[in-house]
Amino acid sequence: MKLQWIGDTAGLLAGIRELAGDIPFAESKDGIPVHIETCGEGLVVGRQDGRAYIRYAEKHLFYRGLGLLVQYGSEAESFELREQAQFDLIGPMFDLSRNGVLTVESFKFMLRKMALMGLNTVMLYMEDTYEIEGEDYFGYMRGRYSRAELKEIDDYADLFGIEAFPSIQTLAHLEEFLKWDAAKAYRDTKGALLVGSERTEELIGRMIDSVSAPFRSRKIHIGMDEAEELGRGRYLDLYGYRSRFEIMTEHLGRVLEAVRERGLKPMMWSDMFLKFASRDGAEHYDKETQIPESMARRIPKDVDMVYWDYAHQEQEDYELLIAKHRPLGCRLAFAGAVWVFNTFGVNYGLSLNATDSALQVCKREGIREVYATMWGDDGMESNPFIALLGLQFYAEHAYTAGRPDPVRLAGRVKFCTGIDEAAFLRLKYLDETPGAEPDNVKQSNPSKFLLYQDVLLGLFDKQIEGLPMAEHYRRLEEEIRSGRDPEAALDYLFEVPEKLCGVLRSKSEIGIELKRAYDARDLDTLRHIAADVLPEISAAVQELRRAHRDQWLRLFKPFGWEVLDIRYGGVVSRLDTAAFRLKEYTEGRLQRIEELEQERLVYSALNRYNGKGAGWCSCYYRMASPNVFFHVLNPF
């Protein structure tokens, strides 16, 4: 589609030219005249009588309008679209702290997709993945961003009218920094800072200075979520017992003082205050919780509270929990999720339904700032790129008064990403397997635990016994393969899911087969498994690992890949040991295989027998073995 610009393009041309490689248009003097002008509010895009027009109220709306013009104007010579933003700010939060630190080029790619979608903010979650002068171990070997890299990201975001800003931790979730001996003076517990210490306060000041300097935005997210350990380590030894609420409000006051001095606008996660008010002091989704006036009075009002909620399906739940926040008296933002955490896939069934309910309520409740978090818990086996359908869903919600039209959503996904909606949705079946609840609302993640579990120990075999997992993954492998488009720029994202299915169609039930053959003393079957099946699985795992490595190095900095390399190596080594022990047994050199003598038990309370899904496990080390991976007598 050839276009020529008529009107004021100052400040727009650089962004236009960056998008020219992503969508099919070109600037040309003999192209369709596109009249560009600002307007009071909203976005108007149209084409008629041989000309086109984009009228926009804010810079980011122009780029959404450009995408809509190319998408619809390529098919129709006459159309008009009018849109009104339902939120002031909406965009993703990228987790850049769980091994997967996006390269600057990957980040720019995501920013271009965001621009086409009309998203206008991005939060960079960095626990220790940014530089602090004088703290060499802060982000050491973790792929931390330099100040120049963060400035490059911010500059690129600004091309499209996208506000980028940092999200850090000023209290807990700092395990990867506090593990170093060089950081022991700052350590309360393994993950929480020693609050009340002058050295800690000085460190936080340098954190804020370092991370805010590269960004235009004056916003900063100061974290403070999930600080259950607060005051229970060295703090307790040094200062004695104090309530966590007292400690936290005192510490928050000091952090906010540092933020105010620098002219920054703070926001923080809200969960700890709801936990403090709950009956057991630990549950921030407790529907009976009421924030007492005595607590609300102590909480500063110049910090925005971010209510995070990733799983509730019903609008009534969001209405209730938003109401629970109102007594805090702070401006409220909302953070939902596209579930890429603790899995190789995306839990789209849970994510899209939860998002739909949450955003409809946010619109009614007047919440004007919304984020889509994409956490990388336990190693980032997945990635934010396969979550683009989820981001598109957030974007279309942002320009629709009610629910997005499904047909229009599918068209937007294909246009903005080059991938069919159905191809993205197929990835949910990596975990939405036989035994899972509908839409995987119980958050089962067999794509991960069935890959990592040991074939001789079979920790999850009882969980899946009787479920046709192998057949499920065989079919899914074929569907993913047949749904791929080699011409699409993002087609490579489906290589890992396809090869993972190839592993799991053989590996998912092999432990059950092994145990059955061993109990029956079926030596022929055991010989076949040792000589043929396990080596074939090992070869498939190595093929998967190579595909995953290629994808990782395309998206992320190399730091962090070693964690997944080691996990894949562990799977291959244990398959080799299993084959060795089976051979020893079948050839009479081993009287019994003790691992196969053990009765198989259900792994956890989350299982299909009680309607809680096909199973869930958050951590690799609990999937691979029930034995000790590490034991620290004195972590301090």
What does the DSSP assignment read for 102-124? B-HHHHHHHHHHHHHHT--EEEE
Q: What gap in Å lies between CA 34 and CA 25, rounded to an integer?
A: 12
Residue 82: per-residue pLDDT: 98
Tokens matching residue 314: 């019903």
CB 566 within 8 A of CB 394: no
Helices (H), 377-467: 388-398, 406-417, 421-426, 446-452, 461-464
Residue 80 buriedness (CB in 10 A; 0-12 / 13-18 / 19+): exposed
Residues in the chain: 636
Q: What gap in Å lies between CA 36 and CA 145, rounded to an integer?
A: 37
Tokens matching residue 145: 């961003």
Angle between helices 59-73 and 406-417 (to 10 degrees): 100
Residue 630: per-residue pLDDT: 63
Place of tokens 């799991």: 504
Q: Three-state SS for 263?
A: coil
Residue 285: per-residue pLDDT: 85
Which DSSP string corresponds to 10-53? TTTHHHHHHHTTTSS-EE-TTSEEEEEEE-SSSEEEEEETTEEE
Q: What gap in Å lies between CA 247 and CA 252, rounded to an integer?
A: 9
Residue 69 buriedness (CB in 10 A; 0-12 / 13-18 / 19+): buried
Residue 593: per-residue pLDDT: 98
Residue 602 identity (one-letter amino acid) = V
Report which of 570, 152, 511, 572 is spatially closest to residue 379, judged by C-alpha positions.
Answer: 570
Tokens matching residue 574: 């244990």
Separation of CA 97 from chain center: 11
**Tally of CB atoms within 10 A around 30:** 6
Residue 636: per-residue pLDDT: 46
Q: Three-state SS for 301?
A: coil
Q: Three-state SS for 520?
A: coil
Residue 424 buriedness (CB in 10 A; 0-12 / 13-18 / 19+): buried
- Which residues, other chains included, contact 562 with Cβ-Cβ below 8 Å and sequence gap of 6+? none
Helices (H), 262-314: 271-277, 293-296
CA angle 395-400-406, nearest 5°?
75
DSSP state at residue 225: -
CA distances from 377 to 100, 226, 485, 500, 617 (A): 10, 14, 30, 19, 12
Separation of CA 23 from chain center: 26
Q: Three-state SS for 136?
A: coil
* Beta strands in 290-449, from DSSP E residues, in sequence order: 304-308, 332-337, 369-374
CA distances from 15 to 63, 66, 283, 323, 361 (A): 8, 11, 45, 40, 33
Place of tokens 């949910």: 428
Angle between helices 315-325 and 348-365 (to 10 degrees): 50
Residue 635: per-residue pLDDT: 46
Angle between helices 104-117 and 406-417 (to 10 degrees): 140
Report which of 322, 233, 244, 308 is spatially closest to residue 277, judged by C-alpha positions.
Answer: 244
Residue 570 buriedness (CB in 10 A; 0-12 / 13-18 / 19+): middle
Q: What gap in Å lies between CA 236 and CA 253, rounded to an integer?
A: 20
CB 395 within 8 A of CB 575: no
617, HSE (Cβ side, Cα atoms, 13 Å) = 22
Report which of 248, 216, 240 is spatially closest to residue 122, judged by C-alpha positions.
Answer: 216
pLDDT along the chain (636 residues), means of 10: 95 97 95 96 96 98 98 94 98 98 98 98 98 97 98 98 98 97 97 96 98 98 94 95 95 98 98 90 83 94 97 97 96 98 97 98 98 97 98 98 97 98 98 97 97 98 97 98 97 98 98 98 98 98 98 98 98 98 98 98 93 95 88 49
